[in-house]
Structure 1
């Protein structure tokens, strides 16, 4: 199920985590060549992706909210 990004925070290893509308968290790492998300590396890039929908596996598994 796709859910909109509503915010971000850094985890304990300084990796960016998207906060989704469904109240689940999802890492959004820029870690080439495995994942290329250059937008994660800047504040402007992250702000531009607010509202963008990501696939949430936690919703599909009916997991409780993260926050």
Structure 2
């Protein structure tokens, strides 16, 4: 899972983009999130499940 070190509200995203010279309203960010957010979540979930399926636990053998 990915962890974020600081909260990202719509207004935080608006401020981050403004620092990079992109003038955009937080309402536009909300509309983008409503449109593309489910696709991002599905992709993260798909990769997570794929990674869990391909995980092979280490096997320990003891000399006896």
When normalised by structure 2's length, the TM-score is 0.26
Decide which structure has the larger Cα Rg and report it. 2
Tell me which of the two structures has the higher relative contact order, counting C-alpha pairs closer than 8 angstroms and 6 or more residues apart. Answer: 1
